Amino acid sequence: MKAAGLNVVRMGESSWGRWEPADGKFDFAWMDEVVAEMGKAGIQVIMGTPTYSIPVWMYAKHPGMLARPLGGGDTGYGMRQNMNIDDPDYRRYAERIIVALVRHYKDNPHVIGWQLDNETSAYGSANASVHREFVTWLQAKFKTTAALNEAWLLNYWGQQVDSWENFPTRDFANSTGYKLDWARFQQWRASRFIGWQADLVRRAARSDQFVYQNNASLSRAEVNAYDMTRPLDVAGNDVYFNWQDEYDGRHQTLQGNLARGAKGRNFFVAETTGQAQGWDAVKQIPPYDGQMYQDVFANIGNGANLHMYWHWSSLNAGQEIYWKGVLGHDHEPNRIYAEVARTGNDLKKVGAALVDLKKDNRVAVLYSTDSNNALTFMPFDKWTKPLPPSFHADGYRRIFERVNAALYQAKVETDIVFADAPDFSKYKLLIVLALYIADDALLQKISDFVQQGGHVIMTFKSGEANENFMVRWHTAPGPLRQAAGFKYQETSTLLKPLKLKGDPFEVGDGNTVETIAELLQLETAQALAYYDHPFFGRYPAVTRNQYGKGSLLYQGTELGEAQQLAVLKEELKRIGLYGPDQELPPAVQIKHATSKAGKKLHFYFNYSAAAVNVGYRYGKGTEMLAGAPVQAQQDLALAPWGVAIVAED
């Protein structure tokens, strides 16, 4: 490790059974030795609280602490992350080991911080006690069952709740309002658990030890990345992807934007792909030469302050045999190790100048955890076409990834802002994607943003339902109607893709739209494109409305890949966000940041196996990795899977 230039290691979070081999019997000696060795090698340690996988003896004593699956069904020991995180026995044991562990390492100079648990969620717990607390949570929210019945429209099928005592469990619930609030409740429980651990650790830890978690990723139903990162010092994310031909840096950037946006500051890449991953061996994709090196600098360019592989060395047995680390099963140096070592040694030269980079983006994308969940409960598509690698099927996630991919293809760096506490006042362009669940205040805020001079690109489904999953009783798009400049009363699925009439965005064969068509009726907006179809042709597909000092471009249908990119670029030009970055070759990406020392940095990445020259269009400076001077307007040569970082003078 030392030879490879690594200087931080995370340990301990997977070892409760080893820390505490029997109830109340602690063993730290084995780890003390490892930490001491690390210390000698100059490697700092992040210690993890080991609460995500319970020991055998604990289950034997308290089998009831496992999460009961939604809808019932059997459960048992074997999997990790399968307990009810609010089970009192579990909490008691967890508190004991956390406090013991933190006290033990509090004064160890090599231990610089704490990871809380691992990829925490509520694990789908539908235990009786969870149900009871949910009822209490609902009582606090709605006060009366009458208010609940109205908010959730429970007279449908005559399912009004007559008393809190009779409130049915989530197991077979059909109510959309129920589903959404249950998801929020589970998110809240998961965030509360992290907050509880953060408090426990902080009370016992050394004051300069930081506390973080690795869950600021595009997230599961039961995780609200924004809320869960509140109690932490730093947000961390786990970025897994496949190397070789699927690797293009898109996913890393999206996850980086999300982690940076969650906490509003630099973040940790807490885990990322070593050789390959999988709970089987069916998709083992080790990197081509150069990819791993390049990827570290891409994460740094996104604002990462730490880059950790999961994991150093591969496991020789168990479920994760083929979740392969830097070293393989022989634990000997190999091709991957050599590349990591090259990276580590270069970082010794340039790393200090790349910490705490500041990003200053003009474009933001709004992320709505609620809309993601709600569109799973009430999907508008079933996506059967092959997707680009690492896209996730279905609804919100797909449109979110698709438009973010267009932004990436357009080489536009973006921030992610969260619907949970949105602040987009400083941006020039705000992207709003299928914002299905939104309260009136959020929609008003978007309208105000436009009126005051902001620009918005928005898609279908936005503003449709309120915060209780109640589709609005006013003509769509409800409170957005004035800013959007149209209304609609009907939505049609598109069973087959259509074209836009006259190819208005000049994309030739790429002229396709699909999935959905809201039948927009213009009020003050102008149509940018119409469908090419005898019936749909009377409705506009894309509109733009000037509203106050700003504008709102609306896509009432799902644009094909080329079409989406073209619409985006046209809008960027119109609002003055189009520059030389946008003219870079397709395989080249660029990132900008300002260093702590105030220097302007420009990162260039070649995501291809062919060398390429790109025009450097910024000020005179130095390419940091090679240490070579760079002139304004000169050409930069990028090797296959190469990277260059220019610091302006």
Residues 261-300 that bind its own copies (CB under 8 A): 275-276, 280-286, 288-289
Tell me if 24 contacts its own copies by CB under 8 A. Answer: no
- Tokens of residue 612, six digits: 């390429």
Cβ neighbours for 258, distance < 8 A, ≥ 6 positions apart: 216, 217, 218, 225, 237, 367, 416
3-state class of 629 per DSSP?
strand
Quickly count: other Cβ atoms within 10 Å of residue 540's Cβ. Answer: 26
Q: How many residues bind its own copies (CB under 8 A)?
A: 104
Instruction: Between 22 and 441, name the residue whose CB sits nearer to its own copies.
Output: 22
Q: Which residues of 76-85 are buried (b: 16+ CB within 10 A; e: fewer)?
A: eeeeebbbbb
Stretch of 155-163, 406-414, 418-426, 572-580 contacting its own copies, by CB under 8 A: 155-163
Instruction: Please provide residue 170's backbone torsions phi and psi, each rounded to the nearest 5 degrees.
Output: -70, -20
**CA torsion 632→637→639→645, rounded to 10°?**
-10
Q: Compute the least distance from the CB of residue 254 to its own copies, in Å.
A: 22
- Measured in whole angstroms, the distance separating CA 279 from the mean position of its chain's CA atoms is 22
Q: How far apart are CA 9 and CA 1, in angstroms?
A: 9
Instruction: Between 249 and 328, name the residue whose CB sits nearer to its own copies.
Output: 328
Tell me if 338 contacts its own copies by CB under 8 A. Answer: no
Residues 170-229 that bind its own copies (CB under 8 A): 171-177
Per-residue binding letters, 512-531, with its own copies (x by CB under 8 A): -------x------------
Cβ neighbours for 266, distance < 8 A, ≥ 6 positions apart: 234, 260, 303, 304, 305, 355, 356, 357
Tell me if 386 contacts its own copies by CB under 8 A. Answer: no
Q: Compute the least distance from the CB of residue 406 to its own copies, in Å.
A: 24
The arrangement of strands across the sheet holding 363-367 comes to 414-418, 363-367, 429-432, 455-459, 550-555, 540-547, 526-530
Tell me if 148 contacts its own copies by CB under 8 A. Answer: no
Tell me if 53 contacts its own copies by CB under 8 A. Answer: yes
Tell me if 33 contacts its own copies by CB under 8 A. Answer: no
Tell me if 32 contacts its own copies by CB under 8 A. Answer: no
Instruction: Please provide residue 64's backbone torsions phi and psi, each rounded to the nearest 5 degrees.
Output: -70, -10
Quickly count: other Cβ atoms within 10 Å of residue 473's Cβ. Answer: 7
Q: How far apart are CA 81 and CA 64, in angstroms?
A: 14
Residue 209 contacts residue 112 (beta carbons within 8 Å) = yes
Stretch of 148-156, 225-233, 542-550, 590-598 contacting its own copies, by CB under 8 A: 148-156
Per-residue binding letters, 532-571, with its own copies (x by CB under 8 A): --xx------------------------------------
Stretch of 107-115, 302-310, 488-496, 621-629 contacting its own copies, by CB under 8 A: 488-496
Residue 403 contacts residue 459 (beta carbons within 8 Å) = yes
Residues 430-469 that bind its own copies (CB under 8 A): 468-469
Residues 388-417 that bind its own copies (CB under 8 A): none
Tell me if 144 contacts its own copies by CB under 8 A. Answer: no
Q: Compute the least distance from the CB of residue 78 to its own copies, in Å.
A: 3
Tell me if 355 contacts its own copies by CB under 8 A. Answer: no
Burial (0-12, 13-18, 19+ Cβ within 10 Å), 395:
buried
Q: Compute the least distance from the CB of residue 44 to its own copies, in Å.
A: 23
Instruction: Between 475 and 633, name the residue whose CB sits nearer to its own copies.
Output: 475
Residues 591-620 that bind its own copies (CB under 8 A): 609
Instruction: Between 516 and 559, name the residue whose CB sits nearer to its own copies.
Output: 516
Q: Compute the least distance from the CB of residue 649 to its own copies, in Å.
A: 38
Tell me if 321 contacts its own copies by CB under 8 A. Answer: yes
Residues 566-595 that bind its own copies (CB under 8 A): none
Q: How far apart are CA 458 and CA 334, in angstroms?
A: 48
Among 5, 17, 537, 619, binds its own copies (CB under 8 A): 17
Instruction: Between 2 and 382, name the residue whose CB sits nearer to its own copies.
Output: 382
Residue 44 contacts residue 38 (beta carbons within 8 Å) = yes
Instruction: Between 331 and 574, name the residue whose CB sits nearer to its own copies.
Output: 331
Q: How far apart are CA 580 and CA 617, in angstroms?
A: 7
Stretch of 68-76, 195-203, 216-224, 506-514 contacting its own copies, by CB under 8 A: 68-76
Quickly count: other Cβ atoms within 10 Å of residue 439's Cβ. Answer: 15
Instruction: Between 72 and 576, name the residue whose CB sits nearer to its own copies.
Output: 72
